[in-house]
Structure 1
Amino acid sequence: MPQRTTAPSNASAAPPRAEWTGQFGFILSAIGSAVGLGNIWRFPGVAYENGGGAFLIPYIVALLTAGIPILFLDYAIGHRFRGSAPLALRRIAGRFGEGIGWFQVMICVFIAIYYTAVLAWAASYFIFSFDLRWGDDATGFFTGDYLRLADSSFTLDFVPAVLIPLVIMWLLTIAVLGAGVVKGIQAANLIAMPLLVVGFLILVVRALFLPGAVDGLNALFTPDFAALADPTVWIAAYGHIFFSLSVAFGIMLTYSSYRRRRSNMTTPGLVVAFANSSFEILAAVGVFATLGFFAFQQGIAVDQLEGLTGVGLAFMTFPAIVAEMPGGQFFGALFFGSLVLAGLTSLISILEVILAGVIDKFGIPRRTAVYSIGGGLAIVSILLFGTSTGLIALDTIDNWANNIGIVSSAIVMTVTVLWVRRAGGELSRHLSALSTFRVGRGWLFFVSLVVPVVLGFMLVATIRQLFQEPYGGYDELYLLIAGWGSIAIMVIGAIALTASPWRSDPERFTPWPSLPVSRAAGAEGGAR
């Protein structure tokens, strides 16, 4: 472990760190980050395609053995070492740890750039819902009239209908972040999350009373226990839990660094994890009740429908359903309004990872960082996703950032912190000293062995598949530039930022509370 002392340094001391006003503000903000677009448009489809009701078994197992353990790891690192991803990981694992932190920041840079585009689409469709502007051809309207999707991956024609909401979403997000951790992020979540829950509950109740809703729920929850023998079903469960909780790419680590010194860490973690899963199941009920109605209207079975997940579900299938149901304008406004609220709170947390890292390292005032970095990312986002190839770019970068970038980050972070630096014992004792229940050997086993092994298997399988066939049927040169090029830029950016000097000495720090760190104690965190 690197020595952490309050020894004098030529660098100036860091300014006091911002803090949440209390546990409720932190929990609501963390839930706001975890509950995002994937809860609404990804989980229902993943569950349906992987055993229906039976999928809940590997889902819960994955939550308990990987999701919550790595969530606790993020909490422990961020809270004990009081910093953004680069700063906290520097304090626990030296310069290599800092590099991992900057890689996580770079992942957030790419996600923020395309995530805002989806928010812009959802905001547009919120307005479109009031007059059902997509008419009888929801798919044609989305890809043609709205996005003006180009045939070539390299076409860069600007689309005014996307540019305006894209600019508005960036301005709104920058305004929230500029107001600070408490007056901006916490206040936004205090407003957005209750609105999201109430609005989505109304949507679900309405969906349950639609003709055919029961058929949709039967299609979703009828268990196919034979699917449990398929390893890919279990991998899908671990993959979804991992992405859904916003872990291992700096968000929960950064948010926990804003908690007060004497703060319960484990109980809020359980609240966040189970609140996120509860919302996913609620979303699945609402989505499949609605899909059941759509199948009923067409006189077909639910399994004959197309577009049951992702962008297709949100912007092609759902608008088509809304156009056929009584009161469709209200239902559509609720759905797309929920997408905006869920996506906005997640986007704020993603950008906060970037801002916290830059502020910690370079000592830039918060508002200066927000306006300069936010403005720069907004320009890039507009240039890339305000064009006729926005959907192709989003699909490609999202796949590489999540399935390659985040998974790699999690593997390297857990191996470095728990196997190389052998800090598991220290982090375990930190969580236990401040929480209502102790974590020990069970947590260490899952986070140091199960997580890297499962994620390592996922990473190898993903890379093999990407090399076997072009992703999405896109041009191979385009995939090389947009996909693998994104990962290359993340790595180069992480190296360059790690090499730059600190404004304040990162080693001028003493972890609290003081814990005995003997050689034997430290060995508790090693691999077994």
Structure 2
Amino acid sequence: MSSSAYPGGTPQTTQNRETWSTRKVFILAAIGSAVGLGNIWRFPYVAYENGGGAFIIPYLVALLFAGIPLLFLDYAVGHKFRGSAPLAYRRLHPRAEGLGWWQVAICFVIAVYYAVIIAWAAMYMIFSVTEAWGDDPAGFFLGEFLQVSENVNIGFDFVPGVLIPLVLVWAMVLLVLAAGVQKGIGRANVIFLPLLLVMFLLLVVQALFLPGAGEGLDALFRPDWAALADTGVWAAAFGQIFFSLSVAFGIMVTYASYLKRKTDLTGSGYVVAFSNSGFEILAGIGVFAAVGFMAHSAGAPVGEVAGSGGIGLAFIAFPTIISEAPLGTLLGVLFFGSLVFAGLTSLISIVEVIIAAVQDKLGLRRLTATLAVGLPLAALSILLFPTTTGLNLLDVTDAFVNNFGIMAVALVTVVLLTYGLRSLPLLGSHVNETSSIKLARGWRIMVGVVAPVVLGYILVNELIARIQEGYNDMPAWFVGVFGWGMAGALVVVAFILSLIPWSSRSAANHPVLDAEANAGKEAAR
């Protein structure tokens, strides 16, 4: 394709666009993005609370009929249109650019608070050596460590024990991203992901030999077949898949845009999807083996000590296990080290979505774009979250950006691309050009029918619940500003960013791709 096809000469997004050195590096980076904190502390409890072993059935259905098809959709958009999320969607159709900026805005919000959880995990890896939490892990976490304020508001009383590791987390992430796609992101995942896998395998092996481990695994995998009749269980399975595969974040669109032209997209997608799910099941085994030990030590049923997933599991329940388990120090270092590495690979991918978008929009060099994005992100993160009021802000923001950000943009994206722009035939054809496993009509049905129905059901249910129940007994003004307000602001910001003119270096209006898109639309008719 000659450079004369592009206004302003050869754009950064074709010949000069960075690429992964090999397909294997892309797969490692994509797995690193998908495997995050939620795999370790969210999946085990979602499975436990939704039918145990029986949950595997709706989980696999969700993976095969929604998660993987949407993953292929992201790959197709990024790989065909060779740009960050906003640029790729704009090249698909100018009216679709806002979808990309919506995803960028979501990544911005997530990155701001996600980094502080990595900082907590890094400190707890050190605390595991001395079991610094003593006899009261809950009191230590909320009191001595985070120094959580009794007032639900925004304050700027900084906690040094969180502030310092948070600064180091951001320094590491920005150094990796400044180095570029292959030299930075690729190399980091080649190092971090194997380390994560080795550490977690050692953790699982150690947990399996703890007294009571079998009781924990029995509680996790004992099937409750009656749960399959509950639509909420199926919704939970689809929700878990959407969150864990990194679809609708702009991540896979961006990562796929760095792939070489002749790449097996579907083969890569299946490897990423099943690797992610395999790690989730591995996490369930390790976590519930440890929880079974905790129940055994307390002389109580697993259900009484299981509690709930998330921050409480990682920073309150697990320290209790570490204090009582043989070789507890090793168990703690492995567990919290796994959280650090899983968090870093995911945070790198999240911030890359923003950097790539700014780089494309303004025609900036990699280092300039990294600093333009990374420094404000780090500053906002450091200003808001290593404080005595940071925990409540994190809780509300995380809940609303996931349920009313990611779910909403995923729903709008599949509806617009299926029924508004009728882009699925064009995108499916592109995937089939180089892929070993071809996409047939069934893929369009899963993306255009199954995914919107499930996403709409989950979104409406969550909307009704939040309106009727509020959120965790927090003040209405706090939830209104940092929950509902933030979710609404994502859309407004996306619209405003889509109005900013593109740099000529980005070749946002792509004559060749526009012609192909128009041909695809005609074929769809």
Residue of structure 2 equivalent to 1:481? 481
- Residues in 1 aligned to 2:408 and 2:9: alpha-carbon distance in whole angstroms: 33
SS at match of 1:190: helix
Superposed CA deviations along residues 40-97 of structure 1, whole A, max 9, x for unmatched, are 0000000000000000000000000000000000000000000110000001121x31
AA of the residue aligned to 1:338: S
Please give the per-residue CA displacement for 1:292-338, whole angstroms capped at 9, x wherever unaligned: 00000000010011533000000000011101111111110000000
CA offsets, 1:413-432, max 9 Å, x none? Answer: 11111211101111111111
* Structure 2 Cα separation of the partners of residues 318 and 41 of structure 1: 11
Residue identity matched to 1:72: F
Aligned residues: 518
Q: CA deviation at 1:153?
A: 1.3
- TM-aligned CA distance change 1:518 to 1:313, over 3 Å: closer
Deviations 1:260-289 (A, max 9, x none): 011110001000000000000000000000
Matches within 5 A, 1:88-107: 88-94=88-94, 96-107=95-106
8 A contact 1:411–1:455 mirrored in 2: yes
- The answer (yes or no) to whether the contact 2:4–2:10 under 8 Å persists in 1 is no
- Distance 1:280-1:519 versus aligned 2 partners, 3 A rule: closer
Q: Compute the displacement of 1:360 (Å).
A: 0.5
Alpha-carbon offset, residue 373 of structure 1: 1.3
* Mapping of residues 7-46 of structure 1, within 5 Å: 9=7, 13-14=11-12, 16-46=16-46
Percent identity between the two aligned chains: 53
Farther-moved stretch of structure 1 (480-489 vs 167-176): 480-489
User: Please, what TM-score do these two structures have when normalized by structure 1?
Assistant: 0.96
Give the 3 Å change call, closer, same or farther, for CA 492–244 of structure 1 in structure 2.
same
Following the alignment from structure 2 to structure 1, what is the Cα–Cα distance between the partners of residues 12 and 511?
Answer: 10
CA contact 2:422–2:521 (8 Å) conserved in 1: no
Q: Does 1:135 align with 2:134?
A: yes
2:508 corresponds to: 506
Specify the code of the residue in structure 2 equivalent to 1:392.
N
**Residue 259 of structure 1: CA displacement?**
0.1
Alignment of 1:356-435 (within 5 A): 356-435=356-435
Supply the distance in 1 between the matched residues of 2:332 and 2:511 (Cα, whole angstroms): 51
Aligned-pair distance for 1:470?
A: 1.6
Aligned equivalent of 2:234: 234
AA aligned opposite 2:247: V
Change (3 A) 1:303 1:388: same
Distance of 2:33 and 2:521 partners within structure 1 = 37
CA distance in 2, matches of 1:484, 1:19: 38
> Equivalents in 2 of 1:516, 1:161: separation in Å?
56
Query: 1:513 and 1:269, CA in 2 relative to 1: closer, same or farther beyond 3 A?
Result: farther
The aligned counterpart of 1:303 is 303
Query: Does 2:519 align with 1:521?
Result: no
Q: Give the conservation status (yes or no) of the 8 Å contact 1:6–1:510.
A: no
Counterpart CA distance in 1 for 2:473 and 2:512 is 52
Matches within 5 A, 1:250-399: 250-399=250-399
The CA distance in 2 between the partners of 1:129 and 1:195, in whole Å, is 19
Q: Note closer, same or farther for the CA distance 1:75–1:513 as it changes in structure 2 (3 Å cut).
A: farther
Q: How much has 1:484 moved relative to structure 2?
A: 1.4
1:449 aligns with 2:449: yes
CA distance in 1, matches of 2:76, 2:520: 19
Give the conservation status (yes or no) of the 8 Å contact 2:81–2:513: yes
CA contact (8 A) 1:263 1:435 kept: yes
CA 1:519 to 1:44, structure 2 compared with 1: closer, same or farther past 3 Å? closer
1:384 maps to a residue whose letter is: L
Q: Contact 1:264/1:434 (CA < 8 Å) preserved in 2?
A: yes
Compared with structure 1, are the counterparts of its residues 117 and 509 closer, same or farther at alpha carbon in structure 2 (3 Å cutoff)?
farther
| Partner SS state of residue 282, structure 2 | helix
1:201 and 2:205 aligned: no
Q: Distance in 2 between the 1:376 and 1:519 partners?
A: 40
Q: Could you say what secondary structure the match of 1:129 adopts?
A: helix
CA RMSD of aligned residues (A): 1.7
In the alignment, structure 1 residue 146 sits paired with structure 2 residue 145: yes
Cα distance in 2, alignment partners of residues 383 and 25 from structure 1: 35
1:492-519 deviations in whole A, cap 9, x for unaligned?
A: 2212211111102311353499799365
Please report how far the alpha carbon of residue 453 of structure 1 lies from its aligned counterpart in structure 2 after TM superposition: 1.1
Match of residue 122 from structure 1: 121
Which residue of structure 2 aligns with residue 526 of structure 1?
Answer: none
AA partner of residue 47 (structure 1): A
**Partners in 1 of 2:498 and 2:97 — Cα distance?**
6
**Partners of 1:207 and 1:213 within 8 A in 2:** yes
Distance 1:172 1:283 in 2: 26
Q: Distance in 2 between matches of 1:381 and 1:350?
A: 14
